[in-house]
Chain A
Amino acid sequence: MLGGIGAKGAASIGVLQSMREHKIKVKRIVASGISSIASAHFALGGEPKSLTEYFVRFFAKYQQELWGLAQLEGFRARQTSRALSNFSYFIRGVSFFRGNFAKISTLSWESVDEDLKEVFGNAKSADLKLPVVISVIDLSLKKEVLLGNEDLVESLKAGIAFPGLFPPVSIGGHDMISSTLYCELPLTNLKKVWRPVVVVDVPNLRDADPPLSAIEILAEIDQIRRVAIKMKLLGNADRVFNLESIKHLREDYGQIPRLVSLAYSNTNKLLDSL
């Protein structure tokens, strides 16, 4: 099971690369957020590490666009720093509060569609060599659900449809958004037959400075609840791999290669110790 929020989800590349090299037999991947893209690519037979450069470009494009908006809003050093270490704040502070407050989202799917086509072409869920289940929130059912057999690219988009950043994705007449702001690991709907479940977790880090503005406070509460839910649900996993080495890294596209390589060596160590 793979999760991780924002750019940290790219650490999945390192984890999958290490698992492939260790010839670990994976029966199914349950993923959420960015890690669902890495998981689907892996399940199609792709070499995980070949995605690193792609993710850098992917994040650079959107982060630069959002930073442009942030500059227009006159972000100060403190806000910039907080946004880079705290995805909840990034979403609220940079992308849509103030000028974009009344919009459904700051970014559109147009350019993401092209980006996903570059990796997945016309691939379908049936083409995956091992099942990938993507966790999302179904806005009609008001709960976390799993997508498996639906349109692959649409499911991947739903997985990264972070509220405020991207519009919800309609699948089967239901609007779906990313589940990572609910719980960064897709632990809610685990099925007994999937056991044993190995969860790869990135431990959460608190900001050293206490929150000052109302937006910082709301973002902090988002995190506090998300971590409380994750910590309780982690009890359902058979084994938890902690990627301690990447918890200090920031949500910055420039950090992705380092993120991947640290996650890779961290997973190597964990697998060697088994």
Chain B
Amino acid sequence: MRVGLSLGGGGAHGYAHIGAIRALEEAGIKVDLINGTSIGAVIGGAYALYSDLDKIVRLVEEIIAAVSVRYFNIFRFSGQMSQPVIRNWLAGAVGNVVNLRRSLLTHRSTLRALEMIFGDQEFRDTQIPFSAIATDLVTWKTVVIKEGRLTDGVLPSISIPGVFPPVARRGQLLVDGGVLANVPVSELRQEGADFVIAIRLPWRIEEGYQNGFDLLNRVELMKQNTLEQWQVDDADFALAIDLPAFDILKFDEYKNTVALGYKTTKKALPRLKMRLGKRNG
């Protein structure tokens, strides 16, 4: 029986995947193939390549030191800015940018971070078969990337629409796989997994709203959650790592997230082992 690990997207919450994999390793659960969306593709790809969690934690620390990851906080202005004039001016400025440009940010820092993790290694170099999930804006379909340089393959998967530009690749226009497959369970089955362990990082819909943008975002989040739930329902074992206290945009606070991923997975291990045991007969 081939055990697959499907790692979901969820911004900075994705560090929880490191803790989750550590708990699986300690329990002796061997993973035969991995896929992931967005941050799930970054952590999944790194683990598939090195199979060394300590190395991944070191890489995370190096990236945080070398690449500015705090710039994501630009999106927090709506809740924190107390002066309406400045807030509205900023909102207008963001509005201008999104009408004229493909995205708020470029790929510069992301590419640097990915190159620090993957170097020039390719998908075929990984110790565990791995695929990254993206969405094609041309065909409206999910795309499974499993060839070429890991950096090039993971980049589309983390191209959050509106934040980073889409990646043009072989006639496709690729963005974050979280559009349709935030926890890519069925895609991993197609790769040959007989038993899929899905790790989900739920994104809570906040209470209250301030403007039309909030309302549109809320509907988008509802859609994402619906699609994600359908995928997770298809998994043999699904685990949700709930991180309500951690900001999804704060990539520099990783230690607690890793610890919570570990703790949640450890707690779920008896159920997972039972499920695996049943399937093994």
Contact = CB atoms under 8 A, between A and B. Distances in A.
Partners in one complex: yes
Interface of A: 73, 79, 91-93, 95-106, 137, 139, 142-143, 163-165, 168, 177, 181-182, 206, 210-215, 217-218, 220-229, 232
A145 B223 CA distance: 15
Given A212-B102, A217-B175, A232-B230, A164 B205 contact: no
B103 interface: yes
B102 A101 contact: no
A224 B138 CA distance: 10
17 contacts: A73-B99, A93-B99, A96-B212, A98-B95, A101-B94, A102-B88, A139-B209, A142-B205, A163-B218, A163-B219, A181-B219, A182-B219, A210-B138, A215-B99, A217-B102, A221-B137, A225-B179
Contact of B140 (A98, A105, A227): A227
Nearest to A91: B216
Contact of A137 (B91, B103, B180, B219): B219
Contacts of A73: 99
Contact of A98 (B96, B102, B173, B219): B96
B219 A100 contact: no
Interface in B113-155: 135, 137-138, 140
A166 to B, nearest CB: 9
Specify which of A91, A181, A218, A228 lies most central, judged by the most chain B CB atoms within 10 Å of its CB: A228
Contact of B161 (A91, A165, A206, A217): A217
B111 interface: no
Interface in B215-247: 215-216, 218-220, 222-224, 226-227, 230
Contacts, number: 136
A54 to B, nearest CB: 26
A92 B87 contact: no
Given A211-B137, A214-B103, A217-B162, 11 more contacts: A99-B95, A102-B84, A137-B222, A142-B222, A182-B219, A210-B138, A213-B101, A217-B102, A217-B175, A221-B175, A228-B140
B92 A101 contact: yes
B166 interface: yes
Given A137-B222, A217-B161, A164 B216 contact: yes
Contacts of A226: 223
A206 B136 CA distance: 13
Nearest to A99: B92
Contacts of A143: 222
B230 A221 contact: no
A119 to B, nearest CB: 26
Given A210-B138, A211-B137, A98 B212 contact: no
